[in-house]
Amino acid sequence: MKETRGKIFGVAGPTVMVKGMTGAIMNTVCLVGRHGLLGEIIRIKEDMVTLQVYEDTVGISVGEDVISYGIPLSVTLGPGLLTGLFDGIQRPLDKIRETAGGFLTRGVKVEALDLDRTWDFTPIRKKGDTVAPGDVLGTIEETERITHRVMVPPGLGGVIKEIKSGKVSGAEYICMLERGKFIELYQEWPVRRPRPFKAKLPPEEPFITGQRVFDTLLPVAEGGTAIVPGGFGTGKTVVEQTIAKFSRSDIVVYVGCGERGNEMSEILSDFPKLKDPTSGLPLSLRTVIVVNTSNMPVAAREASIFTGITIAEYFRDMGYSVAMLADSISRWAEALREISSRLEEMPGEEGFPPYLATQLGMFYERSGKVMCLGSEDRTGSVTVISAVSPPGGDFSEPVTQASLRFAGTLWALDPDLAYRRHFPAVNWLASFSLFHAELDDWFGREVAEDMVRLRGRLYSLLQRQTELKDIIQIIGVEALQESDRLALEVANLATDAFLKQSAFSEVDAFNTYEKQYWMLKTIFAYLESAEAALKRGVFIETILDSPVKGRLARMKEEPNEGFSGKARALIGEVESEFSMLEEK
Ligand SMILES: Nc1ncnc2c1ncn2[C@@H]1O[C@H](COP(=O)(O)OP(=O)(O)O)[C@@H](O)[C@H]1O
Ligand SMILES: [Mg+2]
C-alpha cells in the first residue's frame, strides 16, 4: 500500500486543499487533520490535492496533517448488511449513536459491519474443488427472509485447500486456496467501480410493483431504470415507499436524501416497524437503508448513491432481484453542485457542473439484469427507481433532463392530479415506457393472451378522454355524439376505478397482474355491452344511469385472491343488465 502525506493548505466548506502529497491517487481516501476525518481525493493539480471531506470540517486548520494509503472509497460487503441503517459512507447509524452519544460526531471510527459477529456457515464446496470468481462457497441464513450466498470475490480463485463449516466470523478466513490465498467472509469494494458480471441480459420480465398504472400502462423491466419526477407533494416519496413495501423484489436498497427535515427520521423510526404484506415478517429483513439527513455533510450525500448501488450489485451477484430506490436524486445533484462551486469550477446550466450527466450515468448505468459471475448459471438484477424533485415542478431543468437520458420508464407526476387527490399522480399521457416491445411476450405468456390488446385499448380510451375533454371545453357535453359521451364515461370510470390506487388501503395497495387484467376485462365488457345497447336504440341517459357502474367503481376493493371469479360474475351482471334495458 502506498502511503502519501501532505499538509492542509486551505479549507472551503466540505473541500480541503492539501499541499505536498506527491504521488497521491485520484478517488482514494485520506485521513484529514488531527481528528482524522474521512476525505476523498477529487482533484489533483501538480502537488496540490483537493479532497471532499465526509465529515464537518469546522475547526480544522492550515498545517494539519493529511495521510492517504492509496485505498479507494469502499464499502464492506458481507452478512449483516440486511436490516442495516447506514450513512452515506456506510457508517452504521446506531453504532455511531452508541459511540458518540446520540449524534454524529466527527472522526468516530466504527466498522461498517460487525466483523466479530459469528454466523452459521454451510459450505457447498469442499477441499479439492476448483473455484472461480463469483462461485458460491456456501450459505448463511442472514435473516429469516434471505439466504446470504458467500461468493469468491472477483480476482480470486483456484483449488480449495481448506473450507470452514459452522461458526464463522470476519475475524478469520473462511476458505484457503492453494498458494496461500485466503477468502474472507467480508470483501471491500470501491463504490465508484461497478461490480463485474458475466453478461448483461436483455430485459424480458417486468419489475412487478403491484401498482396498476405502472404495471399495466407504464412497466419498468426488471433491471431497468424508472425515474419519478414531480414537484413538492406530488407523491414521490409515497411511490418509493410503496415500491419498497410491495414490489416483487428479493432485496430493497433504499437511499434517502431527505427533502424535508423530519422525513429521514421518520424513515429511521417507522421502517423497522413495517411488516412485509405477504409474509408478515418485518420488511427490514430484506432491506438495507442508506440515509442522509440534512445535518450530514454534502460529500457524504454525494457518496451515498454509489454506496447504495454497490450494495445492490452485491446482492444481485448472489442471484437476487434488487430494487434500488433513491429519494431524491436531486438532493444528490445539489451536493455535487455545492462541491463543484467550492472547487470554483466553471458552472454549467443552473450552476450544476458540466459533468452532472456523466456522473448520473455512472449511477444509472449500473442497473441491469445480468448473468452473474461464477461457474453456475445464475441471474440477478438491479432495478433503479429514482425520484427527481425539479424546482417548481419544471421538468426542463438539468437533473430531470439528465436523468431522462438514462431512463427506460418515466413516471411523470402531475400537481393537478395530486391536487385532485388522484394518486399515484402519474400523468399517463406525459409518461412513457420504452420496455413495451420487450415485455409483450411476457404479458401474453404470463398474464393473458389478450393483455397487450387490452392495454392498447385502455391507452386509446385515455387519449380519447383528453381529446373529448378539450372539445367539451368549447361546445359543452350535450353537443357530444352519444358514442363519445359513452367513451368519456367509461374513460372516467377507468381513470377512477383502475388508474387511481390507494397506497394506504390494505386491499388496494398491491394488485397482482391477474387482478389488473380482470379489472380491465370487466371495464371493456361494460363498454361493449353499453355500446350494444346504444346501437339497439336505448337512451344514452338510461345507459349512463345503470346501477352496475357503481359495482365496477368498487371492484378495486376486492382482494386479489378469487378476483377472476368475482370479475366473471360482474361481467355476467353487466351483460344481463344492459340486455334488459328498454329501447326508446
Ligand atoms: N399513492 C398514494 N395514495 C394515497 N395518498 C397518496 C399517495 N401518494 C401520495 N399521497 C398523498 O400525498 C402526500 C404527499 O406525498 P409525498 O410522497 O410526500 O410527496 P413528495 O415526496 O413528492 O413531496 C402524502 O402525504 C399523501 O397524503
Ligand atoms: Mg418526498
Residues of the chain with CATH 1.10.1140.10: 448-580
Instruction: Give the pLDDT band (50/70/90) at residue 577.
Output: very high
Q: Which residues pair with 221 in a beta bridge?
A: 206
Average pLDDT for residues 457-476, to the nearest whole number? 94
Instruction: Give the pLDDT band (50/70/90) at residue 102.
Output: very low
The pLDDT of residue 258: 67
Query: What is the rounded distance in angstroms from the CA atom of residue 219 to the CA atom of residue 234?
Result: 20
Tell me which H or E stretch contains 301.
helix 298-317
C-beta of 238 in contact with ligand 1 (< 6 A): yes
C-beta of 388 in contact with ligand 1 (< 6 A): no
Average pLDDT for residues 141-155, to the nearest whole number? 96
Model pTM? 0.94
Write the pLDDT tens digit of every residue in 367-418: 999 999 999 899 999 999 999 999 999 999 999 999 999 999 999 999 999 9
Give the dihedral of Cα atoms 10, 16, 21, 27; nearest 10 deg. -160
Q: Under 8 Å CB-to-CB from 415, ≥6 apart: which residues?
A: 230, 231, 233, 234, 393, 425
Tell which CATH classification among 2.40.50.140, 3.30.360.10, 3.40.50.300, 2.40.50.100 matches the domain 114-185: 2.40.50.100
Query: What is the rounded distance in angstroms from the CA atom of residue 304 to the CA atom of residue 89?
Result: 6
C-beta of 176 in contact with ligand 1 (< 6 A): no
Q: What is the residue with the minimal CA distance to atom 8 of ligand 1?
A: 235
Write the pLDDT tens digit of every residue in 430-465: 999 999 999 999 999 999 999 999 999 999 999 999
Q: How far is the CA of 451 from the centre of ligand 2 (A)?
A: 33
Instruction: Give the pLDDT band (50/70/90) at residue 259.
Output: low
Does domain 4-72 match CATH 3.40.50.300?
no
C-beta of 230 in contact with ligand 1 (< 6 A): yes
Question: Which ligand has its closest atom nearest to the C-alpha of 230?
Answer: 1
Which residue carries 413538492 as its cell? 232
Average pLDDT for residues 228-238, to the nearest whole number? 95
Task: Report whether pLDDT(104) > 60.
Answer: no
Q: Is the peptide bond before 579 cis (omega within 30 degrees of 0)?
A: no
Q: What is the residue with the minimal CA distance to atom 12 of ligand 1?
A: 235
Tell me which H or E stretch contains 577.
helix 563-580
Give me 314's grid cell: 452485491
CATH tag, 448-580: 1.10.1140.10
Mean residue pLDDT of the chain comes to: 92
Write the pLDDT tens digit of every residue in 495-552: 999 999 999 988 999 999 999 999 999 999 999 999 999 999 999 999 999 899 999 9
Helix count and strand count (H, E) for the chain: 16, 26
Measuring CA to CA, how many Å separate 22 from each of 3, 4, 70, 358?
10, 7, 12, 28
Per DSSP, 403 falls in state H
DSSP string, 126-138: -TT-EE-TT-EEE
Query: What is the rounded distance in angstroms from the CA atom of residue 484 to the CA atom of residue 475?
Result: 13
Q: Which residue has the higher pLDDT, 100 or 357?
A: 357
Residue closest to 531 by CA, chosen among 543, 547, 515, 514: 543
Query: What is the rounded distance in angstroms from the CA atom of residue 167 to the CA atom of residue 122?
Result: 9
SS3 231: coil
The pLDDT of residue 113: 92
Residue closest to 189 by CA, chosen among 99, 347, 96, 81: 81
Q: Which residues surround ligand 2, an ion (CB under 5 A)?
A: 236-237, 259
Residues of the chain with CATH 2.40.30.20: 4-72
Query: What is the rounded distance in angstroms from the CA atom of residue 511 to the CA atom of residue 560?
Result: 6
Write the pLDDT tens digit of every residue in 545-576: 989 999 999 999 999 999 999 999 999 999 99
The length of the chain, given as a count of residues: 584
Q: Is the peptide bond before 72 cis (omega within 30 degrees of 0)?
A: no
DSSP strand pairing (379-388 vs 409-410): unpaired
The pLDDT of residue 515: 97
Residues of the chain with CATH 2.40.50.100: 114-185
Query: What is the rounded distance in angstroms from the CA atom of residue 49 to the CA atom of residue 426?
Result: 46
The pLDDT of residue 260: 66
Give me 550's grid cell: 357503481
Average pLDDT for residues 28-53, to the nearest whole number? 91
Cβ atoms of 520 and 454 closer than 8 Å? yes
Write the pLDDT tens digit of every residue in 299-325: 888 999 999 999 999 999 999 999 999
Task: Report whether pLDDT(296) > 80.
Answer: no
CATH tag, 199-433: 3.40.50.300
SS3 358: helix
C-beta of 236 in contact with ligand 1 (< 6 A): yes
- Residue 130 backbone phi and psi in degrees, to 5: -100, 130
**pLDDT over 90, % of the chain:** 78
Task: Report whether pLDDT(101) > 60.
Answer: no
Cβ atoms of 283 and 276 closer than 8 Å? yes
The pLDDT of residue 558: 95
Give me 39's grid cell: 476525505
Task: Report whether pLDDT(108) > 70.
Answer: no
Query: Of all atoms in ligand 1, which is nearest to the CA of residue 418?
Result: 12
Q: How far is the CA of 520 from the centre of ligand 2 (A)?
A: 31
Q: How far is the CA of 387 from the centre of ligand 1 (A)?
A: 13
On the 0-12 / 13-18 / 19+ scale of CB atoms within 10 A, 280 is exposed
